[in-house]
Chains A and B, each alone.
Chain A
């Protein structure tokens, strides 16, 4: 039982960081293990924002040696960036193990991303012109406070509060997942995927990488695979209902779109609110009410329903 939430402003930006924090805090009872955000700010012209982690939060308690390891890992990452001709415009350490880079780079970002992840213990959480993906252990208020998300201007966002049922409590298994190496695509999921290993092996045969044993990561990889093959987001969502087994409701965000899909049994909840300039959705209505106190009309999407909204 996880909590998922999404919101998209049409044709304008807003404090999506603060709004998503309010929504996720209202969903805390659905999963207190970890909280994650994918927020989409104003797309930068040509620059890439890269969020990465160089260690797990729990590694920090495994002896003093880790501090030097982290320094070494960061140095290795910077070396690889230089090797690929990426200029570091800014570097920020939010926590000791989580970094945010702004890069200017010409050429193949996916090759660079693959190279960076060859470094032991390093995982790129997200890369893109607008996407910033933040996830850590704790509830929404903790994570938003730690990463300064309370005032994040953007157009859309998806978020997740996790109750770990299929894999461990760590950042690696926390949502959202970035659709590696596809820029600006992220996924949050509530449910269980029952043909995970079959699909994972199929994706691995096609050359995709998996960083965790969390079944939700499959949806990110699956979406990335479809988008890379020229399939539209809407068609990818529709195909997933046929090809992926289990009970699930999941949200996918791209640079300028937000999509949802619900499985064939409609077993996992989602409540939708649509207006001319704002679309908000969450596992429970209480999250939507957290940002919209006035009386509004909401509804549950049905089984096999797929929707995509444009920012």
Chain B
């Protein structure tokens, strides 16, 4: 990384960048396209190849007669032209809209989307004035996503960062395998929410279905309503003053603060009974003995 300047990276095609960053060597060198940002840095908060966009430059796309590929391609073209606010009209439940946006952008979707909406994003602020299908915001790295209506199952699967907010209710397996970030749900969530979650926070203002937090490694789940049942190794923990302060701040920020405050929330964490990382497998024990 150090030997390459931003200007050089920006000039390269994606193919060349992959080679330059050491992703093509036979051995695993531990390098990746991921760039660590220095906390003291004053610039370079974006990828070197990110387009320069201006939030005040706004445009609309009527997606009614376009395919998903055409819409996503058009978003990239408009970003290259410097548009910082893009509105998608008539999404009509299309799948995979707005995926893989890796730079700042105001994306507004006027309607409902299908599966995998705004997945794999790193940075944009998204507002969806409709419902989303399965796996919305999956694998997102940073940014904010606001959904005004309901969401489908596996909402925010494997997210690593950012805030993913749904004002309505979400389906089953919300935040499955989440590795960071925050999921906020105004309504209810279905069965197996937080399944195998590893880090991050999930807040559900309504009720939670059965097997909440099943096999979670770590992370925290807050539930405002009833919990049908907790999964394996998911246990209730004390709601501390710090939790309440964080909940108040987060819920107020997105206008989801319940009238009765946050004292009624139940906090669920990993019981750590499944933490057997240092134990040997039976076959390994045989080798040693």
Contact = CB atoms under 8 A, between A and B. Distances in A.
A302 B190 contact: yes
A285 B149 contact: no
Interface in A254-308: 264-266, 269, 271, 284-290, 293, 295, 297-300, 302-303
A37 to B, nearest CB: 21
A285 B191 contact: no
Main secondary structure, interface of B, reads: loop
B153 A286 contact: no
A269 B153 contact: yes
Given A265-B172, A298-B131, 12 more contacts: A265-B191, A271-B133, A285-B113, A286-B92, A286-B95, A295-B130, A299-B131, A300-B172, A302-B172, A302-B190, A302-B191, A303-B191
A288 to B, nearest CB: 7
Contact of B149 (A286, A297, A303): A297
A285 B171 contact: no
For the complex of A and B, 9 pairs with smallest distance between CB atoms: A285-B93, A286-B93, A266-B172, A300-B171, A289-B93, A289-B92, A303-B191, A299-B150, A302-B190
Contacts of B131: 285, 297-299
B153 A300 contact: yes
Given A286-B114, A303-B191, A293 B93 contact: no
Given A269-B153, A293-B92, A298-B112, A285 B172 contact: no
Nearest to A264: B191
A300 B150 contact: yes
Contacts of A289: 92-93, 112
A24 B131 CA distance: 21
A288 B130 CA distance: 14
Interface of A: 264-266, 269, 271, 284-290, 293, 295, 297-300, 302-303
A190 to B, nearest CB: 13
A305 B112 CA distance: 23
Contacts of B209: 302-303
Contacts of A298: 112, 131, 149-150
Given A266-B190, A295-B112, A303-B191, A288 B149 contact: no
B125 interface: no
B190 A285 contact: no
Nearest to A288: B93
B168 interface: yes
B115 interface: yes
A299 B168 contact: yes
A279 to B, nearest CB: 16
A269 B93 contact: no
